[in-house]
Structure 1
């Protein structure tokens, strides 16, 4: 049986248009910052909560631009898929990993994808960002 997790995640872009990726402790795949929605929580509220916990980042005053909602296999959990609300925001200041995050990495949106990216990134987010840049 497959489980579906409802999550919210964000494409945090720096001044050069690079995408911030995170890797959780004891995992291999890099993914977008974000996490699971709690009962009754909106995607935006969940994302703001997760960013405070994982990156000590407050985007409370910054608008979140919706990129889309996508289904993909979970990167780190067997028999699980994610239903992801994805947003875009500018990273207002440098951040460092906290909570369960072990590593941060920048991804050049115009560069080739590495082989350690989560399925959501490879299958949906990077193509959606490329389409958006083309317009």
Structure 2
């Protein structure tokens, strides 16, 4: 089981995604918790490292937890994704291992990892994505 956190940012009914160098799919930005970190601490650290923005920890709201086959891992290796939304300051820009950021609609669902497809379905069902 891979335990990950993700940041959900929606603008104009599109969701922010990132693509890591050398990968062929997009992911919701985020990452893994370091020892002793809370979800909020890990999320704010990962997002600042990846996208150069600062999430306001007081604004972080839990969105949901999603489980699916982990992309690029052997069959049966699952990812447990805890998703959060929140306010941020700064300009979104790719940093560290991130090669590209994009805003995707539901029509772009096939461009994302398996767990993100489930999240896209949920966002669509809540009428947050076009």
Asked whether 1:96 is paired with 2:90, we answer: no
Give 3-state SS (helix, strand or coil) of 1:129's partner. Answer: helix
Q: Which structure shows the bigger proportion of residues in helix conformation?
A: 2
Correspondence 1:6-85 to 2 at 5 A: 6-14=3-11, 16-61=12-57, 63-79=59-75, 80-85=77-82
Alignment-derived partner of residue 117 in structure 2 = 122
With normalisation by structure 2, the TM-score equals 0.85
Is the Cα–Cα contact under 8 Å of residues 110 and 117 in structure 2 kept in the other structure? no
Q: Which runs of 4+ in 1 moved over 6 A?
A: none
Is the Cα–Cα contact under 8 Å of residues 29 and 76 in structure 1 kept in the other structure? no
Using the TM superposition, name which of 27-36 and 55-64 deviates more.
Answer: 55-64
In 2, Cα distance between the equivalents of 1:107 and 1:90? 19
Gaps of 5+ in 2: none
In 1, Cα distance between the equivalents of 2:54 and 2:66? 24
CA deviation profile, 1:10-32 (whole Å, cap 9, x unmatched) = 11123x23211101011111010
Give 3-state SS (helix, strand or coil) of 1:115's partner. Answer: helix
Give 3-state SS (helix, strand or coil) of 1:121's partner. Answer: helix
Is the Cα–Cα contact under 8 Å of residues 52 and 90 in structure 2 kept in the other structure? no
Root-mean-square deviation (Å): 2.0
With normalisation by structure 1, the TM-score equals 0.82
